Structure 1
Amino acid sequence: MNILQALFFPPEQPGGVSSMVPYIQDRFKAMGWQTELFSLPKRIRGKGQEELPFVTFDVGPYKGNATVDKYLQTLMDYLWWTRLRITKSYDLIHAHHPIAALVMKRVFPDTPVLLTIHSSYERELMLNGKIAEGGLEHQFLTGLYGELEQLTDGILTVSASFRDYMAPYLKAPGNVKVIPNGFDEKRFRPVSHENPIPQLITVCRLVPAKGLDVLLRACALLKQRGKPFVLHMIGDGPIRKELEALAVELDLYDDIIFYGYMLHPEEFMPFFDIFVLPSRAEAFGSVFAEAALCWLALVGTNVGGIAEQIDHEENGLLVPPDDPEALCEALDKLVSDPIYRYNMARAAWNKAKQVYSLQRVIVQLQRVYESFRPA
């Protein structure tokens, strides 16, 4: 089969789907399948003029809203770039973003278009304080789920919890297949080490949705208990200055290292002890599987795909979101007991190897792709 993997972000972007799909491409190429990647370069902004029609709702009442207009312009830009750059046909198009799926079905109406929805843009905007639940932008963005269900030939997502999240906006949510993200084990090499002081690490974009303010408050409580640690924060984002100010306010600045953006954090993670990220929502949370493959003990919130990766007190610890005291208690358990920490990390590594290996995901995707094979 000749398959196009249609991304939104260019494949060189770090994290999540953008870094995962090239590995999928390589595996299918090794099996003799023709697979290509396509994405919208960052420089393409404001080029498109051709509007896409919507079939399940009237987009007219939403125009004039800044968030909606930006989304519609991005759709037109992606359409312009697709018409300009793609001159051949494919047996199947696997889109990894709603914009890519809507455009590809417009350009290739007779080609099966499969969509994996990896995350929720509207939920991210709400948690980051950009839009209100039930507002105009929220109505438009959630309305897209029905549009995608109507136009695409199949929908996948990365966790059962995210399928449940989408269910109210779909006519047949039971048709959505769950295939979690997969990771090439060769990228992750656990390193034997003994840190005299427990080393905590978090890797994410610095935005409110990740709950990093909660993490700092939990660390302040941990410090008050007299427990030594160092917290390493890898990532950048709009609230970095706020987090640095909060660290100073909580008397934590000497206990935290802010690294900023890092292209390949998985090369850095194996030298630490505990991965912690108290997200307020996650469709999957790829970084938890990556940390597990680096043999780190895991602490996360009982939300979305995190709760599907972590079995509480078996391969990590789960805490409620927005609860610094509970997060402090979980960190205290791991910081205080190296043997317990080691056992959690080993169990996390075992589960990640078994459930989130790239080969397992390739097998699942191959079955789905085969169902679209031309007669």
Structure 2
Amino acid sequence: MMKILQALFFPPEQPGGVSSMVPYINQKFQAMGWDMELFSLPKRIRGKGTEHHEFATFDWTQYSGRPVVDKYMQTLRDYLWFARMRLRNASYDLIHAHHPIAALVMRRLFPDTPVLMTVHSSYERELVLNGRIEDQGPEHRFLTSLYRELEHQTNMIITVSHSFKSYIAQYVDRPEDIRVIMNGFDPNRFKPVENVNDVPQIVTLCRLVPAKGLDVLLQALSIVKKRGHAFVLHLIGDGPIRKELEEMAIRLGIYDETIFYGYMLHPEELMPFFDLFVLPSRAEAFGNVFAEAALCRLALVGTDVGGIAEQIESGVNGLLVPVDDVHALADAIEKMLTDGEFRLRMAHAAYERAKEKSSIARVIGDLEEVYLSYRASYI
């Protein structure tokens, strides 16, 4: 059987997203008899790398001197420094990277080994939405140039939604070659329960950054409260705008209805006891948390954007609203809170769809097909 390296950026013990999904993939393949291991950059490794790095498709030095670019390049050097030391005597039949830095470093260290790259999210869009870089500015151009570099340096680009494939297409030469494999989750992690609370319990789970649209959520809930509806909002996660959100909740008169949990290691253990999951993101490549909430059998309300719209069919297994539309979000939440039969129907439909479409078994099958297509390279 093939020997495969799954190259992460964040350590696998990090909660959420890629860092929680890939270890499950690794375990499933190992249980099937595959020789597979994980690699990531420890959080303590900072400022160690000194090797010069050049890209094949663009000159990154034209963007140097800007904090985002300089930090990105230093992180690449750090990853290269650690990987060169840690993987000095290693050999693999295939490498599957889950971050651009991991893919570029692995190509440099293993030039004769097939390297696949799954692009899970758009760092540049997150930075723009969070107000850290300017749209179409130099940092944005640097980060979007990496897509063509990845196309040049890897054997295959995979991404997690058709929407995100369309986004990447504008930055590469052969968009038709991009493969879409939507994320999947181990259903054993989730323990849905039949649960209806006297006061509807709303939950959202994300990093507290502007890109997640939590300001829109709080404004919408203030409208819902003014319409006379009771609720409790459970806001799980932490981030740089937590204090701003707390102050906003006070100003809008919904602080008493809002619980700020901060960081939580295993939120899926708590989520089944809520009634409704809401996250009005301004952008999502896939939106793992919607699939996870669905597997907890929660009703879903999200924005009609990116991978969210590929998981929710509005009125069938949840509700979709336009990005930044406070009143539409308030109306959707009100519908879910006041029509218990509709909410339960949406929750069960979301659960059934997630079991079918977001199964880890489906992901394993898709990846196995891709991996085996490279067997000829080492037979």
| Correspondence for 2:242 among 220, 240, 245 | 240
The aligned counterpart of 2:95 is: 93
Matched, 1:80 2:81: yes
CA distance in 1, matches of 2:86, 2:129: 36
CA distance in 2, matches of 1:320, 1:63: 37
Contact preservation (8 Å) 1:197, 1:229? yes
1:68 partner amino acid = V
Shift of 1:40: 0.3
Q: CA RMSD in A?
A: 0.6
The aligned counterpart of 1:14 is: 15
Structure 2 alignment gaps of length 5 or more: none
Matched, 1:159 2:161: yes
Shift of 1:236: 0.3
User: In the TM superposition, what whole-angstrom CA distance separates every residue of 1:107-136 from its partner, at most 9, and x where no partner exists?
Assistant: 000000000000001000000000001111
SS of equivalent residue, structure 2 residue 117: strand
| Correspondence for 1:325 among 324, 327, 334 | 327
User: In the TM superposition, what whole-angstrom CA distance separates every residue of 1:226-263 from its partner, at most 9, and x where no partner exists?
Assistant: 01111000000000000000000000010100000000
CA distance in 1, matches of 2:174, 2:212: 31
2:79 partner amino acid = Y
Contact preservation (8 Å) 2:195, 2:275? no
| Correspondence for 2:304 among 291, 294, 302 | 302
CA distance in 2, matches of 1:139, 1:207: 22
The aligned counterpart of 1:254 is: 256
2:300 partner amino acid = L
Shift of 1:372: 0.9
2:158 partner amino acid = L
User: In the TM superposition, what whole-angstrom CA distance separates every residue of 1:161-209 from its partner, at most 9, and x where no partner exists?
Assistant: 0000011101011100000111000111101222101100000000000
1:224 partner amino acid = K
Contact preservation (8 Å) 2:6, 2:97? yes
The aligned counterpart of 1:207 is: 209
User: In the TM superposition, what whole-angstrom CA distance separates every residue of 1:95-117 from its partner, at most 9, and x where no partner exists?
Assistant: 00000000000000000000000
User: In the TM superposition, what whole-angstrom CA distance separates every residue of 1:125-158 from its partner, at most 9, and x where no partner exists?
Assistant: 0000000011110010000000000010101000
Contact preservation (8 Å) 1:52, 1:106? no
- Percent identity between matched residues is 66
Contact preservation (8 Å) 1:289, 1:356? yes
The TM-score with structure 2 as length reference comes to 0.98
SS of equivalent residue, structure 2 residue 27: helix
SS of equivalent residue, structure 2 residue 170: helix
Matched, 1:170 2:172: yes
SS of equivalent residue, structure 1 residue 309: coil
The aligned counterpart of 2:190 is: 188
SS of equivalent residue, structure 1 residue 143: helix
Count of residue correspondences: 375
2:202 partner amino acid = L
CA distance in 1, matches of 2:202, 2:106: 42
| Correspondence for 2:289 among 280, 287, 298 | 287
CA distance in 2, matches of 1:60, 1:368: 35
The aligned counterpart of 2:67 is: 66
Contact preservation (8 Å) 1:101, 1:152? yes
Structure 1 alignment gaps of length 5 or more: none
The aligned counterpart of 1:118 is: 120
The aligned counterpart of 2:317 is: 315
| Correspondence for 2:104 among 102, 105, 109 | 102
CA distance in 2, matches of 1:27, 1:368: 16
1:14 partner amino acid = P
1:89 partner amino acid = S
CA distance in 2, matches of 1:277, 1:150: 36
The aligned counterpart of 2:38 is: 37
SS of equivalent residue, structure 2 residue 302: strand
Shift of 1:83: 0.4
The aligned counterpart of 1:26 is: 27
SS of equivalent residue, structure 1 residue 258: strand
CA distance in 2, matches of 1:190, 1:65: 47
Shift of 1:292: 0.2
Runs of 4+ in structure 1 deviating by more than 4 angstroms, as ranges, are: none
CA distance in 1, matches of 2:63, 2:51: 18
Mapping of residues 126-137 of structure 1, within 5 Å: 126-137=128-139
2:131 partner amino acid = G
Shift of 1:21: 0.6
CA distance in 2, matches of 1:60, 1:358: 41
CA distance in 1, matches of 2:271, 2:320: 20
1:238 partner amino acid = P
The TM-score with structure 1 as length reference comes to 0.99
CA distance in 2, matches of 1:259, 1:49: 40
SS of equivalent residue, structure 1 residue 340: helix
